[in-house]
Amino acid sequence: MNDLGLKSNATRIVQARFGREPGALFFNRELSWLEFNRRVLNEALDPSNPLLERLKFLSIFSTNLDEFFMIRVSGLKEQIAENVAKLSPDGMSAGEQLRAIRERVRPMLVEQMRCLEEEVMPGLAAEGIRICGFSSIGDKERQRLNDYFATHIFPVLTPQAVDISHPFPFISNLCLNFGLMVEPPRIPAKYPAKHIFEGRRFVRVKLPPNVARLVPVDESDTRFVLLDELVASNIGSLFPNMRSQNPHLFRITRDADIEIREDEAGDILRTMERELRHQKRFSFPVRMEIADHMPDDMLQLLAGSIGLTEQDVFRVKGFLNIPDLMGLYSLDRPELKDTPITYSIPSAIAAFPNCFDAIRKSDIFLHHPYTAYTTVTDFIDAAAEDDKVQAIKICLYRTGKNSPVIKSLMKASQNGKQVAALVELKARFDEENNIEWARLLENEGVHVIYGMRGLKTHSKVTLVIRNEDDALRRYVHIATGNYNPFTSKIYTDAGILTCDPEIGADATDLFNFLTGYSYQTEFRQLLVAPINLRERLIEMIRRETQNAIDGKTSRIIAKANSLTDDRIITELYRASQAGVRIDLIIRGICMLRPGVPGLSENIRVISIVGRFLEHSRVFYFLNDGKEDLYIGSADWMHRNLDRRVEAVVPIRDVSIRRYIIDKLLPAYLKDNVNSGRLLSNGEYERVQNGDPGFDSQLWFVEKDV
């Protein structure tokens, strides 16, 4: 901490260099993220999107907000609880940020609910897809649902009363609950143990999370009732001979940021398992959502018992937990969804009997989801089966469930190949999945490494060593996205398959660094965080700045998920002041303030939010015609450049370079359908839709890449 304990040294340096207050130099990180999520909400508000896609965006907006509260809001509340006097780079205290967050979130929630209840649900009803009130269906249907309740739901419900002998129960993260008051009728004076039943009591009933929220009314699968309505209509069966009042839904969001003391962890796998168990039971609450009609006395009881203030409570006038409606998205109604895309296989792969022959011929560019992800999984599976392959090494950050990659690695080990997998146990929200995969891989003889002390391994690299003509050749897949076939269909990512000797040698050194803690300080071609990536990026930005000063041609184009690193922002401001034209395609958080006269008037920032989640990272530097082009796993954030192992690779193949520079990046910059332009006040304006409009994602769908 610096002498004031308020601002980072980098922030003070930026402020001194440009002579402006922090708020004039940086957007607030948290508020910038909320503006990104507002753009997700805008996709739901857009009537030109199909109805089920609009419902999907409403769900994504809510899921994003859940994670935001679990990680970012919890961090701010922790600062306040621990009396940490720390200002954000834009000069706001934790308390000021929390107030600003609430002020921005509440109107967005109102707009989200208006969209759902006035547009999306009526639209689906007009298409024959309805959520019916329990009282509105016929007697026979109600009886069938009541029978379903008695058989499948009632046995797993556990009412938990609160009284002197029953303390307030632990409320699980993100689970739906009923709160209600119960009291006995008039009890005869001679009734045994009469005192046990006297008085009103609060009762919590947790809705079973493993039962679908949408319960079909009949076999048509187009009419549903809500699980909570079904439980509410049968609530009396939980309290025989008692009077129960109307139940009210509520939901708690808890801190989900796991921190482990790696210097004290003798076994990181067991430590992570222990921390996950501890988190589920003891993580502190940060938000409570309640049904709008919940009475004030119940609200006060809940908030006081859980440990939240009224500022942390969000009344929901409408459907609570919109992601539960995503069960409707699985319905076979293609006319209510985006047109499915046809995934392509690179022609270079299809022209050869095996992928290794194709890669030896030339590097192969992959652009997902337009390029079928089977290109990657088939490459790994081919390595597992190929008799000439001696070893496979891979970094696994998020793999998803039922991963074909994991199965291929186990098969390779069974086939006698040396297999090493770095499984990052600290991948947020995937900790349990990765622990399970690590156990399975170890049981099959795979050498499993659980990340590095003090660093998350976020790089996306596979190295295959193959014996060819009595010599070893290294094949490398390096990419911007995770080895997750499911998300590969909804995220845009880029990657290459190459047998470039220098990149292969660098990949070998990288894995030795990861698995053996080698003291690696240099790489031939790769830029690796935290070793040389930050320094090289700053060097290339400064080179463009000097080129502009010297009258040479200069240009920077960067595509990433987030831009928050103040040192990188400082260099971009200096480049702009020197006259460098800079285009930034930043999907989410951007703390750089563009378009400020005398500071950043040469910087344009756009965000692409559309059918697919933009996830690829591409960095281009004109360098007076001697162009540098990179793709990789790193965003321009402190954590990526200093606290993670990231791998960024130069694109050396001439045809791939020309495609990315002349086609891919210009397509994003030309987009006037999915694109929002960041203004100097922190808001986004929709890029004016020309005639015709240009949708970069649709263009990639239609183009044979």
Q: Which pLDDT tens digit goes with each residue over 363-384? A: 999 999 999 999 999 999 999 9
Distances (CA, A) of 570 to 16, 534, 702: 11, 13, 39
Is 458 designated active site? yes
d(CA 428, CA 284): 17
Q: E strands along 25-86, which residues?
A: none
Low-confidence winner among 344-353, 383-392, 628-637 (lowest mean pLDDT): 344-353
Shared domain check, 288 and 270: yes
d(CA 130, CA 137): 12
Residue 450: its pLDDT value, please?
A: 82
Q: Is 206 exposed, middle or buried (0-12, 13-18, 19+ CB in 10 A)?
A: middle
Q: Identify the active-site residue in 368, 458, 477, 615.
A: 458
**pLDDT tier at 266, thresholds 50, 70, 90:** very low
Residue 183: its pLDDT value, please?
A: 85
Out of 72, 101, 124, a domain closes at 124
Q: What is the mean pLDDT of residues 10-15?
A: 66
Q: What is the CATH number of the domain that holds 209?
A: 3.30.1840.10
Domain annotation covers residue 663: yes
Shared domain check, 114 and 84: yes
Q: Is 358 exposed, middle or buried (0-12, 13-18, 19+ CB in 10 A)?
A: buried
Shared domain check, 257 and 393: no
Residue 455: its pLDDT value, please?
A: 87
On the question of pLDDT at 33 being above 70, the answer is yes
Domain annotation covers residue 138: no
Q: Which residue has the higher pLDDT, 555 or 398?
A: 555
Residue 140: its pLDDT value, please?
A: 94
Domain annotation covers residue 133: no
On the question of pLDDT at 188 being above 90, the answer is no
Mean pLDDT taken over the chain = 90
d(CA 2, CA 25): 20
Shared domain check, 451 and 489: yes
CB 249 within 8 A of CB 291: yes
Domain annotation covers residue 290: yes
Q: How far is CA 133 from the centre of its chain?
A: 34
User: How many Cβ atoms sit within 10 Å of the Cβ of residue 370?
Assistant: 20
Angle in degrees, 0-180, between the axes of helices 29-45 and 94-115, rounded to the nearest 10: 0
Residue 153: its pLDDT value, please?
A: 96
In 517-632, where does DSSP find H-type helix? 533-549, 566-578
Shared domain check, 551 and 682: yes
Distances (CA, A) of 29 to 36, 94, 224, 618: 11, 12, 41, 22
Q: What is the pTM of this model?
A: 0.91
d(CA 74, CA 67): 10
User: How many Cβ atoms sit within 10 Å of the Cβ of residue 205?
Assistant: 21
Domain annotation covers residue 241: yes
Out of 524, 559, 580, a domain closes at 524
Eight-state DSSP code of residue 510: H
Shared domain check, 538 and 469: no
Is beta strand 201-206 parallel, antiparallel or unpaired with respect to 176-183? antiparallel
On the question of pLDDT at 261 being above 50, the answer is no
On the question of pLDDT at 632 being above 50, the answer is yes
CB 536 within 8 A of CB 650: no
> How does pLDDT run across 117-171, given as a tens digit for each residue?
999 999 999 999 999 999 899 999 999 999 999 999 999 999 998 876 678 999 9
On the question of pLDDT at 478 being above 90, the answer is yes
Shared domain check, 494 and 561: no
Residue 265: its pLDDT value, please?
A: 40
d(CA 631, CA 367): 11
Q: What is the 3-state secondary structure (H, E, C) of 393-456?
A: EEEECCCCCCCHHHHHHHHHHHCCCEEEEEECCCCCCCHHHHHHHHHHHHHCCCEEECCECCEE
d(CA 305, CA 2): 38
In 238-295, where does DSSP find H-type helix? 268-282
**pLDDT tier at 62, thresholds 50, 70, 90:** very high
Shared domain check, 625 and 550: yes
The residues facing 177 across adjacent strands are 206, 250
> If we measure between CA atoms, which residue out of 495, 494, 458, 497 comes closest to residue 474?
497
Residue 71: its pLDDT value, please?
A: 92
Please name the residue that has the structure tokens 């299809």: 350
Residue 242: its pLDDT value, please?
A: 78
Shared domain check, 390 and 308: no
Domain annotation covers residue 342: no
Is beta strand 628-632 parallel, antiparallel or unpaired with respect to 555-560? unpaired
Domain annotation covers residue 150: no
State percent of the chain over pLDDT 70: 90
State percent of the chain over pLDDT 90: 77
Q: What is the 3-state secondary structure (H, E, C) of 448-479?
A: EECCECCEEECCCEEEEEEEECCEEEEEEEEE
> How does pLDDT run across 481-520, given as a tens digit for each residue?
999 999 999 999 999 999 999 999 999 999 999 988 677 7
On the question of pLDDT at 10 being above 90, the answer is no
Please give the helix or strand (H or E) that residue 368 lies within, else none: strand 364-368
Residue 349: its pLDDT value, please?
A: 92
Read off the amino acid at residue 696. Answer: S
Shared domain check, 563 and 668: yes
Q: What is the mean pLDDT of residues 45-69?
A: 97
Q: What is the mean pLDDT of residues 228-257?
A: 91
Q: How many domains does the chain have?
A: 4
Domain annotation covers residue 64: yes
d(CA 294, CA 570): 50
Please give the residue range of the domain that contains residue 477: 347-524
Q: Which residue has the higher pLDDT, 59 or 456?
A: 59
- Angle of CA points 107, 110, 112, to nearest 5°: 110
Q: What is the CATH number of the domain that holds 93?
A: 1.20.58.310
d(CA 299, CA 13): 47
Residue 3: its pLDDT value, please?
A: 33
Q: What is the CATH number of the domain that holds 552?
A: 3.30.870.10
User: How many Cβ atoms sit within 10 Å of the Cβ of residue 518?
Assistant: 12
On the question of pLDDT at 690 being above 70, the answer is no
d(CA 271, CA 435): 11
> If we measure between CA atoms, which residue out of 620, 625, 594 comes closest to residue 607?
594
Cα-flanking dihedrals φ and ψ of residue 689, to 5°? -75, 110
> Reduced to 3 DSSP states, what percent helix, strand and coil does the chain have, rounded to the nearest 5?
45, 20, 35
Shared domain check, 586 and 478: no
Q: What is the largest CA-CA distance in the chain?
A: 100
**pLDDT tier at 260, thresholds 50, 70, 90:** very low
Structure tokens at 568: 């990188």
Read off the amino acid at residue 622. Answer: L
Q: E strands along 554-671, which residues?
A: 555-560, 581-586, 603-608, 613-614, 618-621, 628-632, 644-650
Residue 279: its pLDDT value, please?
A: 55
Residues 6+ apart with CB under 8 A from 370: 341, 343, 344, 700, 701, 703, 705
**pLDDT tier at 282, thresholds 50, 70, 90:** low
Shared domain check, 667 and 564: yes
Q: Which residue has the higher pLDDT, 86 or 429?
A: 86
Residues 6+ apart with CB under 8 A from 359: 475, 497, 498, 499
CB 288 within 8 A of CB 251: yes
Out of 499, 524, 549, a domain closes at 524
**DSSP-assigned letters across all residues of 88-102:** -TTS--HHHHHHHHH
On the question of pLDDT at 403 being above 80, the answer is yes
